[in-house]
Amino acid sequence: MTSSMDQMTADSMANFIAQQSLLPFLAPGEHLIWSGRPRQGFFLQPQDFFMIPFSLAFAGFAVFWTFGAWKSGAPWFFVLFGVPFIIIGFLMLIGRFFSDSRNRTNTAYGLTDRRVLIVRGGKNQSVLSYDLKKLGNVSFFQNAAGRGSIFFESEIQSSPQAKAALMFNKGNLNLPVFFQIERVKEVYDQIMRAKENSTQ
């Protein structure tokens, strides 16, 4: 019972923080239907099962190179050459988890009667806005605990030109996503209802 109450309190706090981030960007007469935030803290993601071994190998080689250069009495610039690679290796191994956590802390998701909103705060604030009438496919992934992600496809991103751009340069166009949110199926249903109502 206590665990359930704690979860409700945490969800309420997350929704309140998200609302405060979203309200300044609502248009006059626009109503906020749902707000939330991505999962907080540190956790492993699918790409980590590749990135962790790669980062370990990269950092390990950089340490081996630098230590070997130092032990062999090589010129100082050979030793210094390896230092930036050691730093990069440890940033890849550990630093990216802190960066990812900070980005998620500063991110808020919103659904209104007109749009899907993704607000990213922090030093470089950005607002992504997607008209419900122009949203294409909406899909979601859910785990056993009911948490998951919702993926959106806007009208421009479903065009042949956009799909071709995505194929050759995936960093050029990024599909919007509500990443790792609680009760994802409920939110998905709300989105589908709002999307349907927007076309009436």
The CATH number covering residue 131 comes to: 2.30.29
Whether residue 27 sits in one domain with residue 59 = no
The label of the residue with tokens 């799909």 reads 163
Q: State which of 49-58, 61-70, 133-142, 182-191 shows the largest mean pLDDT.
A: 182-191
Residues 21 and 56 in one domain: no
- Asked if 115 and 26 sit in the same domain, the reply is yes
Q: What does the alpha-carbon distance between residue 161 and residue 154 come to, in Å, rounded to a whole number?
A: 13
Q: What is the pLDDT of residue 149?
A: 92
Which of 62, 85, 101 finishes a domain?
101
pLDDT digits (tens, 9 = 90+) for 93-109: 888 888 878 888 889 99
Q: What is residue 175's predicted lDDT score, i.e. its pLDDT?
A: 53
pLDDT digits (tens, 9 = 90+) for 98-137: 887 888 888 999 999 999 999 988 777 889 999 999 888 8
Does one domain contain both 172 and 191? yes
pTM: 0.73
Say what the pLDDT of residue 160 is: 53
At 172 the pLDDT is 34
Rounded mean pLDDT of the chain? 82
Residues 120 and 194 reside in one and the same domain: yes
136 in the same domain as 72: no
Domain span at residue 65 reads: 48-101
122 with 64, same domain: the answer is no
d(CA 36, CA 81): 45
Residues 127 and 190 in one domain: yes
User: How many domains, in total, are found in the chain?
Assistant: 2
Q: Say if residue 34 is in the same domain as residue 113.
A: yes
Residues 96 and 184 in one domain: no
The percent of residues in the chain predicted with pLDDT above 70, rounded, is 82
What letter represents residue 20's amino acid?
Answer: Q
Q: Give residue 96's pLDDT.
A: 84
Burial class (CB in 10 A: 0-12, 13-18, 19+), 152: buried
- Does residue 189 sit in the same domain as residue 127? yes
